[in-house]
Each structure stands twice: as structure tokens, then as C-alpha cells.
């Protein structure tokens, strides 16, 4: 049957034929000249064969390229929903690293719907964020209730058990306007995309739960062997040092250090046995500057490391000294490893005012180490088992965040990129404002 598209495609064959003839003549002239120089014969069958082969090999690719170019000029790309669902790939999406799932999904949506860019806005969901592809996609305003943006052609609502999210789609690559049929197809596609994303996230949660179970089994075995034996040895040593002939001051200092080590090892064992165990801090007025000075002074630092203390006096902080001690020691460990045991670490304190106008104590721990990518900080840094270290477990910062949140504080990180160091920022409420502390609603939030 006659169709306009077939007529347009015929021009591709016509143009390709002319191009093939031109290639044939050009190659024939060059081949004839080369044969004449070598053999002295003015006409050669081999020259015609070479020219014909050259023209024939380029004919089919040229026709296909011209047809695709004509399609882009005269025909809009229709969205094939079934083909799009296959390309979105709910199964292999779950095999990607957890921090890449949202971006990969948006990339596939752009590809199947022929869009220049897309954004997934999940800021209305608990702990949600905003994802875009590519990274240079125009920004959106999550607070805009009209859900309109001149840079985007369509905003689709994604409804789930946790709440509502929005999928923003940019203009078509071919410039064609959207019709009602395409809109209906995109709405169906968005529903499947939401299910694919949920499937990928649930798969990662199941994997995380399995790893957590494995970690619990290993640490339980560890408790009953090496660590337990070492704790017994340290306690035995502390008992007998009390009756030795050492200088009294040295003995007391050793006893104090040993008791602190044993206490911290016991706390670590409890936390490692179940990283999701409830955190129940005992809040009391705390001299944060004194705690930081003590933690730095009592730690054995590598010889090539320098610790700079810029500690401004602070009002009493509402916190649990033992739990916070573990948090800062974990930050020190990270800094030492990031700088490969050499460089300068800076610890600073100060007062800040949060978004609600309440004053809080701030502690900043900065290093000159390997740094981190912004994407890793936003989506992975404080997740369980997420780590940038080759031999890390990805548990320390996860536990630190739960401890700080349980005390009404916050812990964040910032870095200018690879090789430019990192800064961890811990904010804690003041004792005078303890009645205004907003604790998480549940352990799931932590």
C-alpha cells in the first residue's frame, strides 16, 4: 500500500544510488590510474571490480543512515510501551549499586521516551531526595505546588505506599509536541517505572538484611573467642597493676586507660552484634570541649600526623559522653585512614543557629585525605554497609549517625571532591535547650 513514509524512504534509495555511482566512478578512476602505472594497460577488469565492491559495501549503510535522518525530520518517534518496559529492565536494575538505581532508571526513561532530560522528585517522602539525568538537567522547585516548570513538558505523579513522588520529563529530542496518545503511554510507563524502582530498592533491602544477618553471626562468634579473651586479659592486667611497684601516678593513668579501652570494646561488641539495636542515650550536661581535648590527648596518633585544635568555649551540651566518645573516635579513625596516617587533621568547635532559630553546638573534624564524591555523600555515606574503603565494613558511620540522631543532633559531611579532603560536621543541642530537642519518631527514621 502507498504510504508517505515509503515515498520519503524512496528518496533515500535515490540519493544513495547517486552517491554509490559517484563512489564507483571515483574509485574506478583511481584504480585505473594505479593499474596503468603498474602494468601499462589503459583498461583493467580488476579496477572495475574494486570500484564496484567499494560502491556496494557503502550502499546499504548509506541508505539506512539517510532513512533514519529522514525519519527524524518528517516523522515523530512513537513510544512503544511494551518495548519500553523491556528496556527499563526491572530485574537488572536491581543488580546495579544502590546509589546508581535512580539515575539509571531516569536514563532509561529518557531513552525510551526520546526525552532530553528527566527528574525524579521524592522530597515529599521520608528521607527522600531529588534525582536528575543528566546531572546538568534544569533544577525544579519541590515546594512549587502547581508542578509547572517551563523547562519541563510534563510532570507525572507517582503514588506509592510511602507517599507521592513526581516524575518530570523534559522536551522531546526531535522537537515534536506531545499528543494525548503519547501522554497516556507515558502515564503507563511512569507506573511501571515506579514499580521497577520499588522492586530494586526492596531487593537491596533484602540483600542488606542478609548481610546484616551474616555480620551478626560472625560477630557473635568473635565475641566468644578473640575479643572476649582480650577483654579478660586487659581486666586481669588492670587488677594486678593496682598492687605493683610502679609510680603511683603512672599506675593510675594506666589503670584508667585500660578501663576505658575495655569499656569501649564492650560497647563496640554490643553495637556490632546488632547495628540496628535501639539507641538509648542518657542525656546529661556535657562539656564538649573537655571531651574533645580528652579524646585527642588519650589517643595514640601516628608520628606523621598533626592534630590542630581550634576549640572555642561552648555552653553545656545535652549528650551521652560515652556514646559521643565513640562517634568522635570513629571520625578520627576515618581521618587517619583517609590521609594514610600522615597529614593534618583539624578539630573545630563553635555555635550555630539551626533553621528553627535554636542555637546548637557544632564540631567539625576535617582531614586532608582522599575526599569523596558529592553523589556518594548524598546517597551512600551514612547507609549501612556503604563504604569507600577497600577493606571497610560500612558500619561505623551508620552507627555514628544513629547515635547522634538519637540525641537530637545531626551529622553531615562535605568534600570538594577526590583528593581534596573531607569534613564531618556534628551538631548537638545545648543543655539549656534540651526541652526543644526533637527526637526521631521511630528507629526506622534513625
Task: Report the 10 Å Cβ neighbour count for 128.
Answer: 15
The ranges assigned to domains in the chain are: 4-74, 81-177, 226-273, 284-436
The CATH class given to the 284-436 domain equals: alpha beta
Task: Report whether 333 contacts 302 (CB < 8 A).
Answer: no
What is residue 224's predicted lDDT score, i.e. its pLDDT? 46
Residue 318 pLDDT > 90: yes
**Most confident listed range (105-109, 344-348, 402-406):** 344-348
Indicate the pLDDT class of residue 414, thresholds 50, 70 and 90.
very high
Please check whether residue 70 is in contact with residue 8, taking contact to mean a CB–CB distance below 8 angstroms. yes
For residue 319, the model assigns a pLDDT of: 92
**170, 106 contact by CB (below 8 A):** no
For residue 286, report the phi and psi dihedrals to the nearest 5 degrees.
Answer: -130, 130
Is 294 or 63 the better-scoring residue by pLDDT?
A: 294
Q: What is the pLDDT of residue 443?
A: 46
CA atoms of 316 and 262, how far apart (whole Å) = 27
Distances (CA, A) of 161 to 85, 102, 118, 147, 276: 22, 18, 23, 21, 23
Question: What pLDDT score was predicted for residue 351?
Answer: 94
Residues 84-123: tens digit of each pLDDT: 666 666 567 777 777 788 888 898 888 888 889 999 998 8
Question: Tell me: the pLDDT tens digits for 36-95?
Answer: 777 777 767 777 788 788 777 777 787 778 777 776 666 555 556 666 666 666 567 777
Task: Indicate the DSSP class of residue 244.
Answer: S
Whole-number Å distance between alpha carbons of 409 and 283: 12
pLDDT tens-digit series, residues 146-177: 778 888 988 998 887 778 889 999 998 877 77
Cβ(35)–Cβ(44) below 8 Å: yes
Q: Is the pLDDT of residue 329 over 90?
A: no
pTM to 2 decimal places = 0.51
Average pLDDT over residues 12-38: 79
**Angle made by CA atoms 8, 10, 15, in degrees to the nearest 5:** 105
* Spatial distance between the Cα atoms of 137 and 214, rounded to a whole number of angstroms: 40
Q: Is the pLDDT of residue 218 over 60?
A: no
Cα 138 from Cα 171, distance rounded (Å)? 12
391 vs 204, more confident: 204
User: What residues contact residue 132 under an 8 Å CB cut-off, 6+ apart?
Assistant: 103, 106, 117, 118, 119, 120
3-state secondary structure at position 163: strand
The band of 320, judged by pLDDT with boundaries at 50, 70 and 90, is very high
Helices of type H across 224-320: 226-241, 248-273, 288-297
Question: Which residue from 377, 364, 362, 363 is spatially nearest to 415, judged by alpha carbons?
Answer: 377
Look at residue 243 in the predicted model and tell me its pLDDT: 58
Mean pLDDT, the chain, rounded, equals: 78
Per residue in 275-285, pLDDT (tens digit) is 666 778 889 99
- In the chain, the percentage of residues whose pLDDT exceeds 90 is 21
CB 32 within 8 A of CB 43: yes
CA distance 99 to 200: 11
Other C-beta atoms lying within 10 Å of the C-beta of residue 195: 14
Amino acid at each position: 500500500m502507498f504510504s508517505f513514509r515509503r515515498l520519503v524512504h524512496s528518496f533515500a534509495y535515490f540519493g544513495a544510488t547517486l552517491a554509490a555511482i559517484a563512489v564507483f566512478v571515483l574509485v574506478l578512476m583511481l584504480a585505473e590510474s594505479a593499474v596503468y602505472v603498474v602494468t601499462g594497460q589503459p583498461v583493467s577488469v580488476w579496477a572495475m571490480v574494486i570500484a564496484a565492491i567499494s560502491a556496494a559495501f557503502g550502499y546499504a549503510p548509506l541508505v539506512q543512515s539517510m532513512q533514519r535522518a529522514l525519519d527524524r525530520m518528517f516523522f515523530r518517534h512513537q513510544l512503544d510501551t511494551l518495548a519500553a518496559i523491556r528496556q527499563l529492565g526491572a530485574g537488572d536494575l536491581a543488580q546495579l549499586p544502590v546509589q546508581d538505581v535512580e539515575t539509571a532508571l531516569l536514563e532509561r526513561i529518557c531513552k525510551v521516551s526520546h526525552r532530553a532530560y528527566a527528574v525524579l522528585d521524592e522530597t515529599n517522602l521520608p528521607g527522600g531526595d531529588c534525582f536528575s539525568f543528566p546531572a546538568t538537567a534544569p533544577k525544579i522547585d519541590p515546594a512549587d505546588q502547581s508542578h509547572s516548570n517551563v523547562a519541563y513538558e510534563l510532570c507525572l505523579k507517582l503514588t506509592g505506599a510511602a507517599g507521592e513522588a513526581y516524575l518530570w520529563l523534559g522536551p522531546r529530542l526531535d522537537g515534536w509536541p506531545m499528543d494525548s496518545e503519547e501522554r497516556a503511554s507515558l502515564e503507563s510507563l511512569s507506573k511501571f517505572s515506579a514499580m521497577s524502582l520499588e522492586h530494586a530498592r526492596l531487593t537491596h533491602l533484602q540483600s542488606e538484611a542478609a548481610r546484616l544477618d551474616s555480620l551478626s553471626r560472625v560477630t557473635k562468634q568473635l565475641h566468644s573467642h578473640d575479643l572476649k579473651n582480650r577483654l579478660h586479659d586487659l581486666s586481669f592486667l588492670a587488677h594486678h597493676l593496682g598492687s605493683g611497684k610502679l609510680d603511683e601516678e603512672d599506675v593510675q593513668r594506666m589503670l584508667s586507660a585500660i578501663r576505658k579501652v575495655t569499656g569501649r570494646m564492650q560497647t563496640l561488641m554490643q553495637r556490632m552484634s546488632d547495628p540496628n539495636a535501639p539507641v538509648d542515650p542518657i542525656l546529661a550536661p556535657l562539656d564538649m570541649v573537655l571531651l574533645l581535648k580528652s579524646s585527642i590527648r588519650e589517643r595514640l596518633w601516628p608520628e606523621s600526623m598533626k592534630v590542630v585544635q581550634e576549640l572555642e568555649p561552648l555552653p553545656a551540651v545535652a549528650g551521652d559522653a560515652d556514646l559521643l566518645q565513640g562517634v568522635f573516635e570513629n571520625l578520627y579513625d576515618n581521618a587517619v585512614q583517609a590521609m594514610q596516617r600522615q597529614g593534618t587533621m583539624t578539630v573545630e568547635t563553635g555555635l550555630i543557629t539551626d533553621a528553627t532559630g535554636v542555637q546548637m553546638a557544632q564540631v567539625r573534624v576535617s582531614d586532608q585525605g582522599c575526599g569523596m564524591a558529592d553523589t556518594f555523600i548524598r546517597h551512600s555515606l551514612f547507609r549501612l554497609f556503604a563504604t569507600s574503603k577497600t577493606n571497610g565494613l560500612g558500619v561505623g558511620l551508620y552507627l555514628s549517625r544513629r547515635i547522634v540522631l538519637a540525641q537530637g543532633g545531626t551529622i553531615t559531611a562535605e568534600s570538594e571532591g577526590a583528593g581534596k579532603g573531607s569534613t564531618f560536621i556534628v551538631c548537638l543541642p545545648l543543655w539549656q535547650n534540651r526541652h526543644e530537642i526533637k527526637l526521631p519518631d521511630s528507629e526506622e527514621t534513625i
